[in-house]
Chains A and B, each alone.
Chain A
């Protein structure tokens, strides 16, 4: 019985992903990370490249994340809430929100540093697999926590993508551009398919339909 309650307690959280918009936003951010790596690959070795890979990446990720946080609720206002209803989630206080955004950026940078540090002990060829594995574990955790099976599929895709990247053995930073770029595109496509299904299977209700 308590397991059933936990499943129902998770339903509002799953509802955030019902329309695929969050995945599309996340996919756009991840694709942007891939783009940053790709652009850095075109830049010559030097300060510009270092700034882009280091602080530039944090700024871009934070900015894109903030933009996504601004855009997704507004899209839900137009598409989701008129169809299947409105949920206001419990929000942390402003200072905690800012701290969370900062921590997210710091975490992204820490993962980049950790990947580079640990990667020194690994043959360069395995870096892509390591990144794919990390992403797969993160998405599998998210899938288990929220209870969305399609996140497991994305985790499996991430693992395969990492393996493919290692097999291709692209030079740095093209391997990261390949991994993050395709990962982001997968999230965009997944989110778009979910959105398409959602829009086809629901319709906006007019006021008289809700005559209570």
Chain B
């Protein structure tokens, strides 16, 4: 296996999945968002989004808080330090891979 392929195989598979990558990318620059925002931005179905959030939560990358805005239930999602680190590592690996391929 070439070096580039080996490096690509080493990336965090949890974040590498396109929907989860988008979720984590949207969460990274902010403090927290609610479920409706992620639903609107990702265009995923509610079930699909919930499933991806559960996987990320199980991995300790994000935390989910169920609260209320007035009388309406609201689910707030925040990226944890572990999630931020995982995203930063992923992004760094990706840059190295792209730079390496660009040089070749």
Contact = CB atoms under 8 A, between A and B. Distances in A.
Interface residues of B, number: 31
- Chain B CB within 10 Å, residue with most, of A12, A13, A91: A12
Contact of A9 (B29, B72, B98): B29
A207 B33 CA distance: 17
Contacts of A13: 29
Contacts of A205: 36
Interface in B1-46: 21-22, 25-26, 28-41, 46
Contacts of A212: 35, 46, 50, 75
Contacts of A11: 26, 41
A146 to B, nearest CB: 12
Nearest to B74: A86
B36 A88 contact: no
Interface in A1-21: 1-2, 5, 8-9, 11-13, 15
The range of chain A's interface size is 20 to 34
A85 B33 contact: yes
A50 to B, nearest CB: 44
B75 to A, nearest CB: 6
A104 B87 CA distance: 33
Interface string A65-84: 00000000000000001101
Interface of A: 1-2, 5, 8-9, 11-13, 15, 81-82, 84-91, 205-207, 210-212
Interface of B: 21-22, 25-26, 28-41, 46, 50, 69, 71-76, 91, 94-95, 98
